[in-house]
Amino acid sequence: MRKVSIFGATGSIGENTVDLISRNPSEYDVVALSGGRNVARLAEQAIALKADVAVTAFEECFADLKAALVGSGVDVAAGPDAIAQAAERPADWVMSAIVGAAGLVPGLTALKQGKTLALANKESLVTAGPMLLAEAKAHGATVLPVDSEHSAVFQALVGEDTTAVERIIITASGGAFRDWDAKDLHKATLEDACTHPNWDMGQRITIDSASLFNKAMELIETKEFFGVLSDQIETVIHPESLIHALVGFNDGALMAHLGPPDMRHAIGYALHWPDRTHLPVDRLDLTQIGSLNFRPADPERYPALRLAREVMEAGGMAGTIFTAAKEAALDAFIARQIGFTHMADIVDATLSTLSGEIAASEQLTLDSVLAVDHLARKTAQAIIAAG
């Protein structure tokens, strides 16, 4: 039996992971599950999967989780430190699916066990990619991409000579506002931003898809994960979300990965890698699809893409500042403190304010990343408060 843990089990990626594991319970021994405020669902999952421990990220949710699991034999804990401790419990395969930079420490802790980390939490790579991957190498751990685009690139590279890679094309659905006039974007409300045309995902990534901050993070994620340069990474708007990514080789060949917009494909691929196995996802009928469309992703319309390029060029701690400022701006948009287009203004202003202060050469350690993350959040919040 494979020992597995799922961090962020109650979220969209977490639920899809639980779905796959629940289909073959005899194959898995579930060690740890973590969640946030959805304590009832976390308890339900922990009982159904017979987990050793269930952890909520929030101390104030501890009593409810404990009550829901009384008599179940499942250990109960709360708080970020408890999540990190749960990540120390030996597991062969760990899903990192907490949303935001809060996923960094659990993921980092898990990979120090030297096993396999399935990484959905893209923020870990954007905020501290070089450190995370160096730690994985040092501990003999494997990091597998779960983001659909990166899973697609990873699959297109199987058996290939990576020095022959010329470019990587990451597709973008364009999010909720892809058909809006650019001059109307400032009017977009929270409700408008919370609907995605193709994917069913958590609230934060859905809004990030509308602003293209999700794609911006994915460009940086591509650089970190596949070790390519910023100018080797392209993005294109592909409204159908059926081609997830393409890899271009030096002989002109372009390998595309197609699949339905169902995260259970990428999660299942990471769960069974290096093998492939039957997965419960729809099969594409190309004759029904008929045509696939592509159009350029305009950096004027989507300032997040320009900021991602700047972050990739700057290197160092720019990704840490970018992630923290983006999260502070997203919090403010969700709290209706700022408008939709202000999110990019705030990230831009935070990067400008801190770029001189934080040397690009600063060594990425967990302490320096957490300190810069804290500083960038405070700076972004001050910019928001100043209006």
Contact by Cβ (8 Å): 358, 321: yes
Taking the least distance from each CB to Mg ion, the nearer of 149 and 327 is: 149
Residue 260 to residue 68: CA distance in whole angstroms: 36
**According to the binding rule CB under 5 A, does residue 208 interact with Mg ion?**
no
Q: Which x/- pattern over 171-200 shows residues binding ligand NDP (rule: CB under 6 A)?
A: ----------------------------x-
**Contact partner, 14, from ligand NDP, Mg ion, none, Cβ < 5-8 Å per class:** ligand NDP
Identify which range of 30-38, 63-71, 188-196, 314-322 contacts ligand NDP by CB under 6 A: 30-38
**What is the distance between the alpha carbons of residues 30 and 74, in angstroms, rounded to a whole number?**
11
**To the nearest whole angstrom, how small is the minimum distance from the Cβ of residue 120 to ligand NDP?**
4
Residues between 309 and 348 that touch ligand NDP (CB under 6 A): none
Tell me which of 205, 207, 304, 380 binds ligand NDP, using CB under 6 A: 205
3-class SS at 178? coil
Q: Report in angstroms how near the CB of residue 262 gets to ligand NDP at its nearest.
A: 9
Query: Taking the complex as a whole, how short is the minimal distance between the CB of residue 226 and Mg ion, in angstroms?
Result: 14
Residue 249 bridge partners (DSSP): 165
Query: Is the distance from CB of 80 to CB of 57 less than 8 angstroms?
Result: yes
| 321 binds, options ligand NDP, Mg ion, none, Cβ within 5 to 8 A by partner type | none
Residue 69 binds ligand NDP (CB under 6 A): no
Q: Is 224 in the site for ligand NDP (CB under 6 A)?
A: no
Q: Least distance in Å: CB of 230 to ligand NDP?
A: 21
Judged by CB, which is closer to ligand NDP: 180, or 199? Answer: 199
Distance CA 380, CA 324 (A): 8
Q: Which residue has the tokens 């990230």?
A: 347
Per CB under 6 A, which region of 22-30, 34-42, 276-284, 285-293 contacts ligand NDP?
A: 34-42
- Residue of minimal Cβ distance to ligand NDP: 11
Cα separation, 201 vs 310, in Å, equals 27
Nearer CB in complex with Mg ion: 149/224: 149
Site for ligand NDP in 248-277 (CB under 6 A): 263
**102 binds ligand NDP, rule: CB under 6 A:** yes
Q: Map the footprint of Mg ion across residues 140-179, applying CB under 5 A.
A: 147-149
Q: What is the DSSP letter of 98?
A: -
Residue (110 or 349) nearer to ligand NDP, CB = 110
Rounded-to-integer distance, Cα 211 and Cα 207, Å: 6
Query: 147 — phi, psi (to 5°)?
Result: -50, 135
Alpha carbon 109 to chain centroid, angstroms:
17
Q: Which secondary structure element, helix H or strand E, spans residue 249, and what is its range?
A: strand 243-249
Question: Nearest to residue 277, comparing CAs of 263, 295, 293, 265?
Answer: 265
Residue type, 134: A
Closest to 80 measured CA to CA, from 58, 51, 49, 100? 58
Q: Which member of 5, 8, 116, 224 binds ligand NDP (CB under 6 A)?
A: 8
- Find where tokens 């009017």 sit: 187
Residues in the chain: 387
Provide the residue type at 271 as one letter. Answer: L
Q: Interface with Mg ion by CB under 5 A: which residues?
A: 147-149
Q: Interface with ligand NDP by CB under 6 A: which residues?
A: 8-14, 35-38, 57, 97-99, 102, 120-123, 147, 199, 201-202, 204-205, 263
